[in-house]
Amino acid sequence: MRSSKFNVALAREALAARSETAQGWLRGTAPGRTVQRMLSGIVDIDWADRSMTLAAQSFTSVLPVVIVASTVGSRDTFTAGFFSQFGINLDSVDVPPGSFEPTEPTFAAFGIIGLLMVVLSGTSFARALGRMYGRVWHVPTLKMSSWWRWVAVLLSVASSAALVGFTEILRDVPYLGGCLALVAQFAVWTGLWSLVPYLLTERRLSPRVLWTTGVITAVGLSALGVAGDIVLPRTAAAAETKFGELGLVFTAIGWMFVACVIIVSATVITKALALDEGPVGRYLRGPVEPLTETSMVR
């Protein structure tokens, strides 16, 4: 099912939605029906369970990639940028000197184990994302023959998250540093969350839907990043003081959960906007032949 077929299917779904019997005060207007679709879509997708599943699997899938990179790169700025998003300052974590020396025998063993974790179980996060996109957009999930797409998504998410942390160096630019860092983070998130559904749905979604998903997700994650700059340092410090390094783990998982809520909600919101009766919905659905209620049975 290519983009043109996807547009037709989306247009038919929008026509069916408009044909439903109006119930409730929200369904009295076209914007109200769009809002109701957003709310009902978030409930139908089981946002809490799905977001927690994604958060847990991102912790066991994305972090091994970063750990391997941290071992190879000896905690370079790129890797430190990833952890800084969770309020974790690697310089403050107590690790014995020389623990990450490449000459140590444990380095090779850790590298091999880390890579095996990525290959064997690291794609669970990407598979969970694929199931979420499949349920929202009514498209089939990937088959095993497309396994490389799961790996590509995993590596893209890990590298993009680290790149977002790396953009913090732009804050050192006089006067415009904060704005430049925010714009750079927004651009990275937009590109990533336009690419991820493109890979996981095998190009079944239209470019307009992909970019809209990316932009809405980027808005939410960028706002979360701004909030994190204020909240996370103190939260992570307090958790580490009370629970030790285990407190940092709790903080990271909690922040991942909030990020996954944004990712899931952005997808549902995009779907609701695509079914909108106004110009936004018509734009997202793209050019299609006029449909009637009788054409829906074809």
What does the pLDDT profile of the chain (298 residues) look like in tens digits?
Answer: 444 678 778 878 777 777 665 566 566 677 888 888 899 899 998 888 999 999 888 887 777 676 666 555 545 555 666 666 665 555 555 444 444 444 455 545 555 665 566 655 678 889 999 999 999 999 998 888 888 999 899 889 888 888 887 888 888 888 888 899 999 999 999 999 999 999 999 888 999 999 999 999 999 999 998 888 888 878 878 887 888 777 777 888 888 899 999 999 999 999 999 998 888 988 998 776 655 444 444 4
pTM, whole model, 2 decimals? 0.83
Give the C-alpha separation, 36 to 259, whole Å: 23
Residues in the chain: 298
Neighbours of 230 (CB within 10 A): 9
Alpha-carbon separation of residue 278 from 17, 275, 281 (angstroms): 13, 9, 6
Instruction: Collect all residues with Cβ–Cβ distance below 8 Å to 191 and sequence separation of at least 6.
Output: 160, 214
The angle, 0 to 180 degrees and rounded to 10, between the axes of the packed helices 177-200 and 147-166 is 180
